[in-house]
Structure 1
Amino acid sequence: MPTLTVAIDARLVTTRNTGDTSYWRGLIRGLAEGETDATYLLYSNAPRPDWIPDLQRFRWIHLDGPSRWWSLVRFPAAARRAGASVIHTQYSLSPLAWRRGVTTVHDVSFMIEPDWFKPKDRVLLQWQVPASCRRARKVLTVSETSKGEIERLIPGTRGKVVVTPNALGDNIMPVSPEQARQVVAESFGVAGPYLFALGTRWPRKNLRLAVEAFQRLGPAMGLSLVVSGQPGWGVEANCPGVVYTGYVSDEQLSALYCGASLFLLPSLHEGFGIPILEAFACSCPVLCGPGGAMPEVAGGAARVTAGYSAEEWAGAVADLLSDSSNLDAMRARGHERLQHYDWGTTARLTTDVYREVAGC
């Protein structure tokens, strides 16, 4: 049997934690714990992170070059010279992938609602992703919902999209509620009960809805709202009781989940929704919207709203917080649902795709 050698565009594993970064970190760790008769060439234009497996079959290859030409020319050419039998990228797959390309597409929200994106980003994605999917031998995605959307919206993809789900990242470290409240109070000055929302402040993440729902009931219930994540387009105005933290450390993020009365995910669309699993791991009940794969991932363990009105969300928050026994049941269901996702399974599914594409 020919040796399997996989070249991976590993640039995202060195960036701040996002859903995409979590996917690549989890996949690489899962591959390291799996079969030992494959070699992985991890190409990046950044230094090797300490967490990359220190194994002979994992090689970190530093490759310089302008960003635009890196993915189109430098990376695929270097992978080909190295004798890679498969090349694995995200969203962008070069024509130089010589029919052994695999690309991961987390979602196609830029095709579902283009106005969620800046014009420059929208035009690039709408050209780049469909072209890459057509070139690829296989397209990987993270949920059945995303698979259906890709096959529906991108001609020529039906039959070659494979679901390789996300799972919980190792950045989440649950602590006791008492420890969590201490970290949150010391880090952000929030001493009482609070709601927690997370995400980049871009239109699709819809964090404005969390603020509007909070304004309807939070102060009257003695609550604060803590919002964490990357600043972006459409940042909400400050209002009393709302604390914007910006980026947080892994320790702070875990504490924010563990100490929250409720986690709010009002995103208009998610290809998966990793924060749902993070909240489940931290015993934090989840209120999320119906967009994209969130109901699929929640699997009945979260409260899923019918829509996105501030009135509905405020009512849902008040209803959930008034029933402690239901919150306890949601926590238990969340822990159970979490067991459906693990990186070992995702790595095995991905390796099966690699072997099919490589013919080995």
Structure 2
Amino acid sequence: MNSGIAIDATVVGPPRSGVHYAVAAGAIALGSYGRAHVFTGDSDLIDACARASIPTSPGPVAGNVLRRIAWQQLVFPHYLRDAGVLFAPAYTAPVRCPIPYVVHVHDTLAFRRPELCALRNAAHMRVLMPAAVRRAKTVLVSSTAEADAVHSRFGVPIPRIERIPLGVDPCFLDRPQARPRERPYILFVGNLEPKKGVGQLLEAFQSLDTGDHELVIAGRYAWRSAPIRRALQQAGPNVVHLGYVPRTELPTLYAHAALTVMPSIDEGFGLPILEAMASGSPLLHAHHPVLCETSNGRAMTFCNNADLASQIATALRATPPTAENQEWARSQSWERWAQHALPILQAAI
């Protein structure tokens, strides 16, 4: 690696969620500037790196958390001795890392709201993340709220925390294909898990007279999703669960939506906000500080469950979003992210 940047992308694997997409996109963006080496066991990411002429080395296949932890802590340090700096883009780093490193903390939910996390993930974060952030040369975060959380909870000095908002995937800049559904629809995109607020969205939709609109749910069942599964099974014909939707099909789904709703209880960033805005979809999201920051105050919001139904009705009657909003979202590229992240990594060497 000759004093370059080693990137631990071993968290990436199917089925991908927001952090996986962010880690993969960030690795490609950084690697495009050269002198980066990506460690991953994900075949899709290996292929993407090959197309961009980014060197890779095999890591453990994602999915087995204990195996990945063991590899990161016991094996990975031996590969790092020739690197100049490690970029650890998913919360944790080797405890005995032989080189300086920069860690990316996407959120602090495992500490603030552990009930919204998978038990295994929460345990992993609670054991390894505190030491990782305290020993890092710099901690990257995606929002001001998470910067404050890292500072207050772990005592990391403010000068060692850098906020760089995530980027939007280039596929959301493509021209959408033909309308994917005959009826107009309200769209939700994301894993079906407790923090996403899908149950509240279902209740709000079913309390409204939305005319011919469907509610389309695009996302796989994730942890603690049994209540959501039961609610969807009982929801009736106006609620359609598509399951997991491939990344390449999402831009068209967003672009033709009458409204995209993100009712999350908590988030570290909220990539679907940028994706919806870049695709030209009207957007309604929870009035959460992170989500308001991600949308740059350019979307409608709701304050509580009681407010959600009325705001959906209002949003369906509202004037479509301006081209300026769409262009702003499209400007939030991964190239922009890498241009800000690269000097921070180089300064850590």
Asked if TM exceeds 0.5, the reply is yes
User: Within 1, Cα distance between the matches of 2:3 and 2:17?
Assistant: 29
Q: CA deviation at 1:4?
A: 4.0
Question: Relative to structure 1, is the Cα distance of residues 31 and 61 closer, same or farther in structure 2, using a 3 angstrom cutoff?
Answer: same
Is residue 158 from structure 1 mapped to residue 158 from structure 2 by the alignment? yes
| Map 1:168-207 → 2, pairs under 5 A | 168-172=168-172, 174-176=174-176, 179-181=177-179, 184-185=180-181, 191-207=182-198
User: Within 2, Cα distance between the matches of 1:43 and 1:32?
Assistant: 12
Partner of 1:71: 72
* SS of corresponding position for 1:97: coil
Aligned counterpart in structure 1 of residue 256 of structure 2, from 250, 254, 259: 259
Residues 78-131 of structure 1: CA distance to partner in whole angstroms, max 9, x if unpaired?
122xx0111121211112213502111111122222221244432332232112
Partner of 2:64: none
Q: Match of 2:295, as an amino acid?
A: A
Is residue 316 from structure 1 mapped to residue 311 from structure 2 by the alignment? yes
**Greater displacement, 193-202 / 112-121:** 112-121
8 Å Cα contact 1:102-1:140 kept in structure 2: yes
* TM-score, L = length of structure 2: 0.88
Count of residue pairs the alignment pairs up: 335
8 Å Cα contact 1:180-1:255 kept in structure 2: yes
Partner of 1:104: 104
* SS of corresponding position for 2:158: coil
User: Within 2, Cα distance between the matches of 1:17 and 1:292?
Assistant: 25
Partner of 2:212: 222
User: Within 2, Cα distance between the matches of 1:137 and 1:152?
Assistant: 17
Is residue 60 from structure 1 mapped to residue 56 from structure 2 by the alignment? yes
Residues 208-252 of structure 1: CA distance to partner in whole angstroms, max 9, x if unpaired?
11111110115x522110011120223422201111111112333
Residues 6-27 of structure 1: CA distance to partner in whole angstroms, max 9, x if unpaired?
1111224444442212222322
Partner of 2:274: 277
Q: CA deviation at 1:353?
A: 1.3
* SS of corresponding position for 1:8: strand
User: Within 2, Cα distance between the matches of 1:344 and 1:251?
Assistant: 20
Q: CA deviation at 1:71?
A: 1.1
User: Within 1, Cα distance between the matches of 2:27 and 2:79?
Assistant: 20
8 Å Cα contact 2:142-2:164 kept in structure 1: yes
Q: CA deviation at 1:263?
A: 0.2
* TM-score, L = length of structure 1: 0.86
**Greater displacement, 157-166 / 221-230:** 157-166
User: Within 2, Cα distance between the matches of 1:229 and 1:312?
Assistant: 24
Partner of 1:188: none
Q: CA deviation at 1:173?
A: 5.4
8 Å Cα contact 2:31-2:37 kept in structure 1: no
Partner of 1:354: 345
Gapped runs of 5+ residues in structure 2? 62-66
Q: Match of 2:241, as an amino acid?
A: Y
Residues 44-91 of structure 1: CA distance to partner in whole angstroms, max 9, x if unpaired?
2344632215466x31111459323111111122122xx011112121
Percent identity over the alignment is: 24
| Map 1:293-308 → 2, pairs under 5 A | 293-305=290-302, 307-308=303-304
Partner of 2:84: 85
**Greater displacement, 240-249 / 151-160:** 151-160
